[in-house]
Structure 1
Amino acid sequence: MKFSLSWLKTWLETDAPLEAIVETLSAIGLEVESVENRATALAPFVIAEVIEALPHPNADRLRACRVNAGGTEVSVVCGAPNARTGMKAVFAPPGAFIPGSGITL
């Protein structure tokens, strides 16, 4: 079973470091097969706010958006029909690798 450390800590009354928690779980018979730090793999992704979303001039089902992606304004074309001004969404810059998919943008 996979779960996050933050979820586990909601059930534990401890401020112990990760290594101590793993050792204790193993000592009581709950084997920890692996520990993954997903922060490194997800580092390129940021929460972006849509500044402007307009219908694409040359495509019926696309939206042309300007987004604030971590302090940088970026133009994005997307297929999300619900894209609208003020909306927040995950932004992956060109070259970002999407974990679990094998896809690099």
Structure 2
Amino acid sequence: MASGMYSLEQISTEQNFALATLCKQKDCLQQWLKYLNVKSIHMPEEVAKYKKRIADINTAIKILENEFEAQPSSDSENNLRRSRKIKTTPDTKNDTKISSSTKSFTSAKVAALAS
């Protein structure tokens, strides 16, 4: 494979990992928010901080899902999308590689968005 080129499987794996990581962070933050709302009525700034963080994570998840939907599809990709209940794009079997300049959405960018 040429330098700067990624297979669809590599991109999907990175995005799936990033989505899973963001969802775990979101779940954890929502648990803390629930705890703060029940235990500490006198900490509105903490509650606001957690709500903003959850909103940022939701934005990052939406961006990842949109990037995932924009990728050219293969049969295995379509099956994966159906199983994860993510909207699909039309199947374009002739595209098997995406250049890094076109699709450079990586875990590092997701981490930057989520932080």
TM-score by length of 1: 0.31
Q: Which has the higher contact order (CA 8 A, sep 6+)?
A: 2
Q: Name the structure with the higher helix share.
A: 2
Bigger strand fraction: 1
Larger Rg: 1
What TM-score, normalized by structure 2, do the two folds share? 0.29
